[in-house]
Amino acid sequence: MAETYAVIMAGGSGTRFWPASRPERPKQLLPLAPGDSRSLLEATVDRIAPLVPIERVIVVTAARLADATRDALPTLPPENLLAEPTGRNTAPCVGWAAATVRRRDPEARLMVLPADHHIGDEKTYLQTLATALAATDAGDLVTVGIKPTRPETGYGYIEVGEALDDKVSRARRFVEKPTRERAEQLFASGSYLWNSGMFFFRVDSILGAIEQHLPGLADGLAVLDAAAAEGHEAKSLQETYGDLPSISIDHGVMEKADRVAVVPGDFGWSDLGSWLTAWELSPKDDGGNAVGRDSVLLDASGNLVRAPLGKVVALVGVSDLVVVDTEDALLIVPRERAQEVKEVVAELAKR
């Protein structure tokens, strides 16, 4: 049987978790999962270990994050870290990883996973991944779609088509992040799943689909392959990568390909998209506060507090706030407006 490689996409810049996240310390390198001292990236790698040993884990990140990413995964073989000279969205990232794996094993299967998600039920998660991997055998491009729990406007959706077997269906189409009204319809219909950004395919399938739908990318990958054969891929990467088409694997390939399948997933998935999500996932006291033991709470409820160990955070008469304290920055925002932290980051970038 063909071996499976995992491609972990770990290039996110993570402005939504400011001030914990910074350009040099983005979300995937932070321990944002409640009660887990590991970075989200390390947790992701650990989680899939029963399916893919670290020797076959490929981590794609930005060049500026390469050192920090190596530090976060000390057991990752150095050649398994792919550092993009510049960000070109996910299609070049997946394409480069697929080309790299093909040189090692032309029959390999790939599972492409974001580095920064949260999984509540790991056993079901692994079963779902195994199902999705098995579904790649016939050459399909496979995705896992999450069973929606609310009419979320922050995710893309996948329409489920005909059943291929009891666990796998044809994916009829991909739907962009919807309006509120449209999200209600999609949620009510029962035939749409959230696009989780997890993809599964044989390397030859995805590289064939790239050749068909993103020929510019395929040409660039051929240049890299040729350079690798002559031992100077690094130099070629610097010259080539910035010119690759900047497009997502969803838009560039999945939406256009003929044989796309979807496996429904229901395993406590969260994209951990904001401090609000972090609060939702955290254990809370009777007053709905998710705070450290060094906090002092007087008539305070529904708050999330993140602060350095040992720092006393006293909340008196405040509710439903996100309070994130770091050495050089402090954020205070109502929980329901947590996504506006992006505007703070933009304001700081202007200064």
Applying CB under 8 A, the residues found at the interface with its own copies are 18-19, 296, 298, 307, 310-318, 321, 323, 325, 328-334, 337, 340-341, 343-344, 347-348
SS3 state of residue 181: helix
Min separation Cβ 310 and its own copies, Å: 7
* Long-range CB contacts (within 8 A, 24+) of 301-307: 302/335, 303/335, 304/275, 304/278, 304/279, 304/335, 306/20, 306/278
| Closer CB to its own copies, 9 or 333, in the complex | 333
Min separation Cβ 303 and its own copies, Å: 9
Q: Which pair of structure tokens corresponds to residue 302?
A: 């529904």
Min separation Cβ 152 and its own copies, Å: 22
DSSP characters over 151-170: --SSS-EEEEEEESSSS-EE
| Closer CB to its own copies, 24 or 343, in the complex | 343
CA 347 distance to own-chain centroid: 26
Min separation Cβ 248 and its own copies, Å: 29
| Closer CB to its own copies, 202 or 306, in the complex | 306
| Closer CB to its own copies, 130 or 307, in the complex | 307
SS3 state of residue 182: helix
Min separation Cβ 340 and its own copies, Å: 5
Residue 143 has φ and ψ, to the nearest 5°, of -130, 160
Q: Helix/strand/coil (H, E, C) string of 89-127?
A: CHHHHHHHHHHHHHHHCCCCEEEEEECCCEECCHHHHHH
Min separation Cβ 325 and its own copies, Å: 6
| Closer CB to its own copies, 58 or 331, in the complex | 331
Min separation Cβ 321 and its own copies, Å: 7
| Closer CB to its own copies, 155 or 275, in the complex | 275
* CB-based burial label for 318 (10 Å; 0-12, 13-18, 19+): middle
The residues facing 253 across adjacent strands are none
CA distance 200 to 110: 6
CA distance 25 to 44: 17
Min separation Cβ 311 and its own copies, Å: 6
Strand 141-146 and strand 4-9: the pairing is unpaired
